[in-house]
Amino acid sequence: MALHRRDPPEAVVRSLLTAIGLFTVIPVRPFEVDRSAARRAMAAFPWLGLLLGGAAGLLLVGAGALGSPLVGVVAALALLAGVTGALHLDGVADTADGLGSRKPAAEALEIMRRSDIGPMGVVTLVFVLLADFAALLTIPWDWTGAAVLACAVMVSRAAVMVASVSTIGARERGFGALFVGVTGRGAALVNVAAVAVVVALLGWLTGGLASTIAFPLAGAVAAVVAWLWARHLRRRLGGWTGDTFGSLIEVSQAAFLVAAALSVSSLQPLLASM
């Protein structure tokens, strides 16, 4: 796990537990929620994603084998939503409501702050989940599917870790404000490089040459989509919030899954015929 190159094992475990406490509903020992905790949690965020995605991937394969692919996909997506308290799904819905209002940034942010979800948020939420659902049904039903899901969840959290390098926040207070600017460029670079290695390795171990090509390709697509989405959010809303961080996770995760599904299904028969 590449958090910081000189972190001792106990610091790595502490960072991971902090991330679990902040980004999931899993109870951990109480700790002070401050900028220091946010920095630790963000460093571990991609690796928490790998653990969560791996668990969902195992459920995907297991439930699919016992029931049907449909059951496996629903169970895996439900696990991710449940263990995160639907935090990121709520973020993408709120962000869609704010952007869909077409109002100036301050008014859009106020709409996003409300507890209810409007029509734009509902529609966006449905299509994000449908994209995840359709992509996972398209991927071959073996360990490749589990690895794709694990990588997608990891890469989406890495996107937020990179975004947290930015020091531009849309609000001075709030949960999201804790993470604005907490990650150094060096730490982000080390973690992104490690994530890329894991993506390629999981592709090779589960799907051979086709997945070794397809997984990094999907990661590149997700990175481009994340960059474009992040740039739009900063320009439109003036900076980051907890909701926009959540939307970045869901958008980049869907991008990885769709790109992986398309590339794996295309490359496998092509390479087999060569």
What would you report as the CA-atom Rg of the chain, rounded to the nearest whole angstrom?
18
Among the listed ranges 179-183, 186-190, 207-211, which one has the minimum average pLDDT value? 207-211
Rounded distance, CA 71 to CA 60, Å?
Answer: 8
Say yes or no to pLDDT of 132 above 70.
yes
pLDDT digits (tens, 9 = 90+) for 165-179: 998 888 878 888 999
- Rounded to 10°, the helix 119-138/242-272 angle is 30
- Scan for tokens 């790595």, then name that residue: 12
Domain ranges in the chain? 38-265
Answer for the pair 45, 158: CB distance below 8 angstroms, yes or no.
yes
Question: Long-range pairs for 25-33 at CB < 8 Å and ≥24 separation?
Answer: 25/82, 25/83, 25/84, 25/85, 26/83, 33/178
pLDDT digits (tens, 9 = 90+) for 82-100: 999 999 999 999 999 999 9
pTM: 0.93
User: According to the model, what pLDDT value does residue 9 have?
Assistant: 73
Alpha helices in 114-241 (DSSP H): 119-138, 143-163, 185-237
